[in-house]
Structure formats: structure tokens, C-alpha cells
Copies of this chain bind each other. A is one copy, B any other.
Amino acid sequence: MDRYGLVMAKKSVREVLRLDEVDLSALDPGSRPVGPKSKKEAAEDLAATGTELDELQEALYAENTRSVLLVLQGMDTSGKGGVVRHVVGLVNPQGVHIASFKKPTAAELEHHYLWRIRNALPEKGRIGAFDRSHYEDVLVPKVERLLSAAELRGRYKEINAFERELADTGVTLVKCFLHISPEVQKERLLARLDDPRKNWKYNPADIDVRSKWSKYQEAYTQALRNCSETPWYFVPSDRKWYRNWAVSRLLLETLREMDPKFPEPAYDLEAEKARLVSNDPLR
């Protein structure tokens, strides 16, 4: 039934990729711990996953009581936008809610850092996707020393509480850390500089962030360790096709487990059929 023998081995993709002990230096961004070994195989799998995701999403939408929220974090060029395009793009756009968090605006800074996050939560029945998230508010402040260690600890606590609250209110989080190597980042940034159609994606500030690579890895390590009551998944992202495949499977397994159901009609089916058949508006 499952081509990777995961069912046989009783191991899901979520189990394999789940980050229990966060040690980023031990994680290989070019690895493929589970799943397809080739781009072609991954593409076939992604198409099949797309069909099933689309069906599950329609049931989730019809059920209209719960939602899923994909949280995408990773260094520049790790492929957050690519996942939105190639994975979230597999399902009906009407059932999707995408939010992208950039540097907070002046108006956003007038509020608690979770304010803009709460405002962007998916409605019931939707699959939400966050391109960056509240985790930026514990990464940047640590790297840039904008908050003390005690203040950061306070935020980790708040984030755990916030994520518990989401779970309690029917929002299932799928937190993905898209892990890339600095070498692959360099290639991708160069590609943005080389292709006139990609120049707009490049920002000179990207290199400033890049130059703080190890500081960001430390900040990620600390954030992921301290905010893992809701699990994080490791998504090796040096290969784009593997990254997309992995996220699609994490989402698929999550939705399968949620098992959304088309609701029973709240009206009398036969009576409505009779009304409809007898109803001729042009009479």
C-alpha cells in the first residue's frame, strides 16, 4: 500500500522527521531520511498526494469546525515560497489562507508581537500557511541582541501557551523547519542575481543576515528546543523536490489523522428533492 514500506515499518514520515532533540549540526540538509530517492519518483508521489490532499481539504472545508496551519521557517532561499506554490498550490485556493510575515510595520509594532499572527490565523475549514511566523520574534531579537535572555524565555513560554491555545481551539499546527546549507544558499542567491526574472527576489540585506549564519543556527536551536510542545519537523531542503515531497507528506498524514468528514445534511433530503422537482421558476 505504501511504496516506502512505512506502513510495514509502522513509521510515518512525521515520526521520521520529527525533531525530538534539536541539534542542527547533526542534521544534513542534503539528506533524504525517508521517501523517494529520485526527483521523478517524488513528482509522481506529489501528484498522488495532491489528489488526496484536495479531497481531504474539501471535507475539512465542508466540516467547517477545524483548521490546519502550516508554519514554514527557514533561512532565506530555504524554499518557504516554493512550498506554498508547489504544495499548498495542490489544493483548491478557496480553502487556503496564506500569510507572509515580513519585518513588522510601524502599526504592527504598536501591538504585542502575536497580534498580527492571531489576525492571520486560518478560518475554520481552511488550510493556513505561514511564510515565516511568530518564530521570527524570537530569532531576530536573539541574533540582534534586542531582548535579554530572560525576555526571550518569556516569549518561548508565551509561544508554547499560544500554540496550546491553538490546539484547544481546533487549529492543528504543522511546524516545518526548512533546513539548507550555506553552500546551497549561495547558489540560490547567485541564481537570483543571474536571472533578470529573479532579481526582484534578491535583497542586499540578505547577505547581512547570511553573514550571521551560525548565530541564526543557534537562535533556531534555542527556539526549536524551547518551543517544541507542539512538535517541529525537520525538512531537508537542499533538494527542492525532496523538500516539497516531505512537506506534502507531513500535511497529508496530518489531515489523514484529523479524518475530516462531510457533514450530514441538516435538512430532509427527500423533501428537498420533491420541492426542487416541483419548482419551476419559469412557470
Interface residues of A (CB under 8 A from B): 58-59, 62, 81, 84-85, 88-89, 92-94, 96, 98, 100, 131, 182, 186, 189-190, 193, 196-197, 199-202, 204, 207, 210-214, 262-265, 267, 269, 272-273, 275-277, 279-282
Q: Can you list 6 residue pairs at the A/B interface with Cβ under 8 Å?
A: A85-B93, A89-B92, A199-B263, A199-B269, A207-B276, A213-B282
Query: Which of chain B's residues have a CB closer than 8 A to the CB of A93?
Result: 84-85, 88-89, 93, 96, 98
Query: Which of chain B's residues have a CB closer than 8 A to the CB of A84?
Result: 92-94
A190–B276 touching, CB < 8 Å: yes
How far is B205's CA from A267's CA once the two chains are assembled, in angstroms?
A: 11
Query: Which of chain B's residues have a CB closer than 8 A to the CB of A275?
Result: 204, 207
- Select A94's contact among B94, B100, B214, beta carbons within 8 Å: B100
How far is B62's CA from A207's CA once the two chains are assembled, in angstroms?
A: 20
A196–B262 touching, CB < 8 Å: yes
- Select A193's contact among B131, B214, B273, beta carbons within 8 Å: B273
The residue of chain B having its C-beta at the shortest distance from the C-beta of A59 within the complex is: B197
- Select A267's contact among B85, B186, B204, B264, beta carbons within 8 Å: B204
User: Assuming the A-B contacts A85-B93, A131-B94, A279-B207, are A265 and B199 also in contact, with contact meaning beta carbons closer than 8 angstroms in the complex?
Assistant: yes
- Select A207's contact among B85, B94, B182, B272, beta carbons within 8 Å: B272
Which of A262, A272, A277 has the largest count of B CB atoms less than 10 A from its CB? A272
A272–B193 touching, CB < 8 Å: yes
Can you name 12 extra interface pairs (CB under 8 A) apart from A182-B281, A189-B276? Answer: A84-B93, A85-B94, A88-B93, A89-B93, A186-B277, A197-B262, A199-B264, A204-B267, A207-B279, A210-B279, A210-B281, A211-B279
How far is B89's CA from A92's CA once the two chains are assembled, in angstroms?
A: 6
10 nearest CB pairs, A to B: A213-B281, A62-B200, A199-B265, A85-B92, A84-B94, A204-B267, A93-B93, A89-B93, A182-B281, A197-B262
